[in-house]
Structure 1
Amino acid sequence: MKKVKITFKKGLFKLNKQPNINYQLNRIIMWNDGDVEDIESIASKINDSETWKGELIRIGNMAKNEGRIKEAIAYYRMSEFFMYDGDEDKVKYYKLATDIFYDYYKDYFEDGTVKRYEVPYDNVNLPVLYAKAVGERKDIILLHGGNDSYMEELFFPMLYFSEHGFDVYLFEGPGQGSVMRIQGKHFNYQWEKPVTVILDYFKLDNVTIIGASLGGMLAPRAAAYEKRIKRVIAWSVFPSFYSVLLGMIPPSFKIAIKILIKLHLSFILNFAFRKKAKKDFTIDWGIKHGMYAYNAKSPYEYVIKLKKFQMINVGHLIDQDVLVIGANKDHFIDYKLFKEELDALNNVHSLTFRLFTDKECASNHCNMGNTKLVLDTMINWIKLIKL
């Protein structure tokens, strides 16, 4: 396709009664360029992983047969989202969506607007997309996602930053995208390691790092050890994965989890989680995706590993300028965790917290309903900090 003017959709749709299914359906529209009418036609039919997979593949095939390639990419890509480890279609549809994506948007690569690199790291290659600043360069941005993101979802945010004068390096690290799905490299809480490799490879210094979702923890963690990072944008309140996990479950179950972990009663915790998963689609997805991406053999092992994914214990080492972005109706993360995070950042050069709300159509996880607003907020913050 020919290059297009960058625009971002605004608003949120009520598509499904289950909060996480509703969010992910909105994600297809807002971040993956899906068609509203297509998604509305299947929304009420989805109630579990099987119906999600089947319906999205079906409309993906329909869009492809009709020559609506942009939409087909969206549906194939997100059909993989609720496929679990062991499903042979998981890699198949991930690769299909990715291959079509790079063919469909090849004009951006052929004319040099975007360059693709493979950076060697610990026996795998980290994919990096680079977009050069348009006009005078204002800053260098390292951009990455989180627990379940695809690098390609951030393609147009990358280009938007570029158009506003930023060199942007968009990358996937261990546990993400193709690094996990194709190369089998699981998450590592020591995010400074892949970040350092990328900074070394491109000989970068004085950069801003932006991490979305879980990246809101990973990016500050990297900044604690990598001082070539001068500015940090946590694109989600995320003090620790353990705190986020506990915030998603009922109070009575929360107390039980703490006790079971303290007493190392793994068999009881595994039984309790699996019982809950049968009744709650989000818990079922969270456990299965987590065991897959974090290389855990049981729910108990997964929870124990999550306790290492935090920035609180290194908060005192972060001495850069920091912007933390929250959302007041995030169904994954209780925004009130911001206090835990801000209290840990007691040695920063400057600290800004911005809470987006439903009145701004930006109250959802990663402010999905108003991407332009949140990107403009980041740009303005960087410019102000660099004055």
Structure 2
Amino acid sequence: MERLLFQGNSQFWFETLRSFSNIAYGGADFAEVLTTAQRITEGDYGSWHDEWRVTADRVSAEARQSLEGGHRVSARDAFLRASNYYRSAEFFLHGNPCDPRHEQAYERSVECFRAAAELFTPRIEPVAIPYEGTTLPGYLYRVDDGGAPRPTVIMHTGFDGTAEELHFTGALAGVERGYTVLTFDGPGQPGPLHREGLVFRPDWENVIGPVLDFAGTLPEVDSRRTALVGISLGGVLAPRAAAFEHRPAALVALDGVYDFGTRAVGRLPGEGAEVERRLRADADPEFDAMLDRSMADNPVSRWAYNHGMYAMGAATPRAVCAAYLDYHVRQGVAERITCPTLVCEAAEDEFFAGQPQQLYDHLTCPKTLLRFTADEGAGAHCHAGAQRLAMARVYDWLDDTLRERPAAA
């Protein structure tokens, strides 16, 4: 898709497109996004934060005013938009996690989303999922208050999304179609990372297992018709989990990732084995200097390394790259997946080009590859800008796949 804004900064443009995309399920308004983006100084992380914060503060104030006046629908809608704008405000601040603006904007995003959640019928319920001596934050979406088991989607995002943003990228779409939906943040994702410093782990089956245990206690969940959906980096995390945790009846990789490490470090100079050796070495000042130059020259690299150090718990860009190498479904892992699997692919994905096809090629389970094109307006990473189209195709596949499974007794 041609850039409409930020011609010299692909990362700023994609994050703006991401907010445009959330319009489809109530996470933004077109002119609010456009006028905010037009005020931002291209490439300036502080300007990005400040302008999104101005918009978020204004919209959240309107939400509170509507709520005080008894206008529940208006309040709900404004709280949803404000939540997304606060999320966007803190997006580029992760190079300094101690920056108070980072924490404040994140907390305001969660606060606004939870205020909106209370205004849905039925309400979207915040949940705390037991996990290794603590809990993972998430949300339970019910179709109604009847308590009957329904086909269920368990959904998580990836490298930089939030459980709250999942409302706009799949959760509400599922409820519209009669699904119970359970969303959550795992380690390395914002809730556990902000509150407890829990960083990413590659053995995602040890995250999904407790989530499935929790889901099994909910009367609205049909454990025989439960699908696992992973978005963005979740496109390798969820397949990794499904390779070792066989309770899900279906898997969606949106979009598919076979080897995050190879993709993330593939542009580094040198032969693969030698690059890996240098990344994992105790010290390599020359390589460190090269990565520092990359961060200085390339805004996408700068953000990826900054966020990676924060979310992976790595001290240096080189340590981040070494950590990335562990996120894959190589070495026979993909072949262990047994449930029907949908792999989505975006034609112009600047982050994971070629990865969905690799994942699909290594699957031995019943499988479907679903390609989204630029002509459809769906060619960007995770089909940003085409959420209604993407969700229609994904949930149609889920409908057809889970219909063949027997319902819970």
On whether the aligned pair clears a TM of 0.5, the verdict is yes
Tell me whether 45-54 or 313-322 shows the greater mean CA deviation.
45-54
Structure 2 residue 239 is matched with structure 1 residue 220: yes
What percent identity do the matched residue pairs reach?
24
Structure 2 residue 315 is matched with structure 1 residue 302: no
Letter in 1 for 2:368: T
Q: Aligned partners of 1:38 and 1:112: how far apart in 2?
A: 28
The Cα of 1:270 is off from its aligned counterpart by 1.7
Cα deviations by residue, 1:332-351 (Å, 9 ceiling, x for unpaired): 121x2333212321x21x11
Structure 2 residue 157 is matched with structure 1 residue 163: no
Structure 1 residues 69 and 173: CA distance shift in structure 2, 3 A: closer
The Cα of 1:257 is off from its aligned counterpart by 7.6
The question of whether the paired residues in 1 share the 8 Å contact of 2:230 and 2:236 is answered with yes
Q: Aligned partners of 2:249 and 2:81: how far apart in 1?
A: 38
Q: Aligned partners of 2:81 and 2:264: how far apart in 1?
A: 33
Structure 1 residues 246 and 302: CA distance shift in structure 2, 3 A: closer
Superposition map of 1:51-62 within 5 A: 51-62=47-58
Letter in 2 for 1:382: L
Q: Aligned partners of 1:273 and 1:193: how far apart in 2?
A: 32
The count of residues paired between Structure 1 and Structure 2 equals 368
Structure 2 residue 10 is matched with structure 1 residue 22: no
Counterpart position of 2:73 = none
The question of whether the paired residues in 2 share the 8 Å contact of 1:260 and 1:266 is answered with no
Cα deviations by residue, 1:238-257 (Å, 9 ceiling, x for unpaired): 1121122145x4xxx44378
Counterpart position of 2:98 = 86
The equivalent position to 1:47 in structure 2, one of 37, 43, 50, is: 43
User: What residue ranges of structure 2 are gaps of 5+ in the alignment?
Assistant: 64-77, 405-409
Counterpart position of 2:285 = 267
Q: Aligned partners of 1:13 and 1:70: how far apart in 2?
A: 26
Alignment partner of 1:255: what SS? coil
Structure 2 residue 199 is matched with structure 1 residue 186: yes
Superposition map of 1:247-326 within 5 A: 249=267, 253-255=268-270, 259-263=274-278, 264=281, 266-313=284-331, 314-326=333-345
Structure 1 residues 13 and 272: CA distance shift in structure 2, 3 A: closer
Alignment partner of 1:161: what SS? helix
Letter in 2 for 1:359: D
Counterpart position of 2:69 = none
The equivalent position to 2:396 in structure 1, one of 365, 380, 386, is: 380
Alignment partner of 1:82: what SS? helix
The Cα of 1:131 is off from its aligned counterpart by 1.6
Q: TM-score of the superposition, structure 1-length normalised?
A: 0.88
Q: Aligned partners of 2:269 and 2:349: how far apart in 1?
A: 19
Q: Aligned partners of 1:356 and 1:219: how far apart in 2?
A: 20
Q: Aligned partners of 1:365 and 1:281: how far apart in 2?
A: 17
The Cα of 1:81 is off from its aligned counterpart by 0.6
The Cα of 1:137 is off from its aligned counterpart by 6.0
Q: TM-score of the superposition, structure 2-length normalised?
A: 0.83
The Cα of 1:112 is off from its aligned counterpart by 3.6
Counterpart position of 1:359 = 375
User: What residue ranges of structure 1 are gaps of 5+ in the alignment?
Assistant: 1-10
Letter in 1 for 2:375: K
The Cα of 1:271 is off from its aligned counterpart by 1.2
Structure 2 residue 28 is matched with structure 1 residue 34: yes
The question of whether the paired residues in 2 share the 8 Å contact of 1:239 and 1:311 is answered with yes
- RMSD of aligned alpha carbons: 2.3
Counterpart position of 1:74 = 84
The question of whether the paired residues in 2 share the 8 Å contact of 1:20 and 1:331 is answered with no
